[in-house]
Amino acid sequence: MTEYTTWSSTTGWAFDRGKNINIANDLSWIHGSHTFKGGFFYSRDRWDGGGENNAGFDFSNLATAIPGDQSRNSGNAFASFLLGYAGGARVDTPRLVAQIWRYGGGFFQDDWKVTRKLTVNLGLRYEYTHPVTGGAAVDGELTGFSNFSPTTPNPAAVPAR
Sketch the domain layout of the chain as residue ranges.
Answer: 15-52+94-142, 56-90
Ramachandran sector of residue 129 (left: φ over 0; alpha: ψ -120 to 50; beta: rest): beta
Separation between Cα atoms, residue 68 and residue 61, nearest integer Å: 13
Separation between Cα atoms, residue 127 and residue 140, nearest integer Å: 32
Looking at the chain, the whole-number percentage of residues with pLDDT higher than 90 is 37
Which pLDDT band holds residue 124 (cuts at 50, 70, 90)? very high
Which pLDDT band holds residue 70 (cuts at 50, 70, 90)? confident
Q: What is the pTM of this model?
A: 0.54
Residue 13 has pLDDT above 80, yes or no: no
**Sequence-ordered strand ranges (E) for 66-148:** 88-90, 95-113, 119-129, 133-138, 141-142
Give tens-digit pLDDT for 112-121.
999 999 999 9
Helices (H) and strands (E) in the chain, counts: 1, 8
